[in-house]
Amino acid sequence: MLFKILLGFLCGVSAAATDNITAQQGPPPLLLVSFDGFRADYLQRFPMPNLKLLYSQGVLVEQLTNVFITKTYPNHYSLVTGLYAESHGIVSSNMYDPVTHKHFHVPNDTDPMWWSEAQPLWITALDSGYKTAAMMWPGSEVIIGNRTATHFSPYNVHVTFQQRLRNVTNWILGNGKEEGVKFAALYWEEPDRSGHIFGPDNTTAMGKALKEVDDNIGLLMSELKRTGLWGRINILITSDHGMAQCSAERLIRLDNCLHPDNYTLVDLTPVAALIPKNNTEAVFNTLRKCHPNMTAYLKNTIPDCLHYRNNERIQPIILVADEGWTIVQRGDKLPRLGDHGYDNSLPSMHPFLAATGPSFRQGYQISSLQSLDVYPLMCHLLSVPPRPNNGTLTQARCLLAAETCWDAPMVIGLVVGVLLVLTAITVLFRFLSVRRRLGPRPFQRLQVDYDDDDPLLE
> What does the binding site for Zn ion look like in residue numbers (CB under 5 A)?
36-37, 72, 192, 240
Closest to 82 measured CA to CA, from 411, 382, 372: 372
Q: Tell me how many helices (H) and strands (E) the chain has.
A: 15, 18
Closest to 114 measured CA to CA, from 123, 102, 131: 102
Residues 91-150 that bind ligand NAG (CB under 6 A): 102, 108, 111, 145-146
Closest to 182 measured CA to CA, from 71, 310, 29: 29
Pick 72 or 234: Cβ nearer Zn ion = 72
Q: How far apart are CA 117 and CA 83, in angstroms?
A: 10
How far CA 156 is from CA of 108, 141, 189, in Å, comes to 13, 12, 10
Partner whose footprint covers residue 204, from ligand NAG, Zn ion, none (CB < 5 to 8 Å by kind): ligand NAG
Q: With CB under 6 A as the contact rule, which of the stretches 38-46, 160-168, 397-405, 407-415 interacts with ligand NAG?
A: 160-168
Residues 396-455 that bind ligand NAG (CB under 6 A): none
Tell me how far, at minimum, the Cβ of 246 lies from ligand NAG, in Å.
Answer: 11
Pick 278 or 300: Cβ nearer ligand NAG = 278
Q: How far apart are CA 232 and CA 21, in angstroms?
A: 9
Q: How far apart are CA 147 and CA 139, in angstroms?
A: 12
- The residue from 72, 81, 124, 356 that is catalytic is 72
Tell me how far, at minimum, the Cβ of 311 lies from ligand NAG, in Å.
Answer: 11
Partner whose footprint covers residue 44, from ligand NAG, Zn ion, none (CB < 5 to 8 Å by kind): none
> Considering only residues 67, 69, 80, 83, which one is a binding residue for ligand NAG as defined by CB under 6 A?
83
In Å, the largest CA–CA distance within the chain is: 97
CA 153 to centroid of chain Cα atoms: 23
User: Sign of dihedral through CA atoms 33, 35, 39, 42?
Assistant: negative
How far CA 123 is from CA of 146, 152, 199, 432, in Å, comes to 10, 11, 36, 70
Q: With CB under 6 A as the contact rule, which of the stretches 30-38, 80-88, 125-133, 450-458 interacts with ligand NAG?
A: 80-88
Judge residue 257's burial from the number of C-beta atoms within 10 Å of its C-beta, 0-12 exposed, 13-18 middle, 19 or more buried: middle
Annotate each residue in 42-71 with x if it binds ligand NAG (CB under 6 A) or - if it does not, as one string: ------------------------------
Q: How far apart are CA 392 and CA 74, in angstroms?
A: 19
Residues 339-378 that bind ligand NAG (CB under 6 A): none
Tell me how far, at minimum, the Cβ of 331 lies from ligand NAG, in Å.
Answer: 20
Q: How far apart are CA 81 and CA 92, in angstroms?
A: 16
198 binds ligand NAG per the rule CB under 6 A: yes
The count of chain residues that interact with ligand NAG, using the rule CB under 6 A, is: 36
Partner whose footprint covers residue 403, from ligand NAG, Zn ion, none (CB < 5 to 8 Å by kind): none
User: Sign of dihedral through CA atoms 96, 101, 107, 113?
Assistant: negative
Q: Render 141-154 in DSSP notation, one character per residue.
A: T--BTTB--SEEE-
Does residue 72 have an active-site annotation?
yes
Pick 57 or 116: Cβ nearer ligand NAG = 116
> Considering only residues 20, 175, 300, 367, which one is a binding residue for ligand NAG as defined by CB under 6 A?
20
Q: How far apart are CA 182 and CA 130, in angstroms?
A: 6
Tell me how far, at minimum, the Cβ of 343 lies from Zn ion, in Å.
Answer: 16
Q: How far apart are CA 83 and CA 51, in angstroms?
A: 28
293 binds ligand NAG per the rule CB under 6 A: yes
Tell me how far, at minimum, the Cβ of 218 lies from ligand NAG, in Å.
Answer: 20
Q: With CB under 6 A as the contact rule, which of the stretches 30-38, 61-69, 317-325, 437-445 interacts with ligand NAG?
A: 317-325
Q: With CB under 6 A as the contact rule, which of the stretches 6-14, 71-79, 281-289, 374-382 interacts with ligand NAG?
A: 281-289
19 binds ligand NAG per the rule CB under 6 A: no
Contact 330, 253 (CB under 8 A): yes
Helix (H) or strand (E) holding 447: helix 444-448
Tell me how far, at minimum, the Cβ of 34 lies from Zn ion, in Å.
Answer: 8
Partner whose footprint covers residue 192, from ligand NAG, Zn ion, none (CB < 5 to 8 Å by kind): Zn ion
Partner whose footprint covers residue 36, from Zn ion, ligand NAG, none (CB < 5 to 8 Å by kind): Zn ion
Q: Site residues (CB under 6 A) for ligand NAG?
A: 20, 83-84, 87, 102, 108, 111, 145-146, 153, 159, 163-164, 167, 198, 202, 204-205, 259, 261-262, 277-279, 282-283, 286, 292-293, 307, 322-324, 388-390
Give catalytic residues, as residue numbers: 72
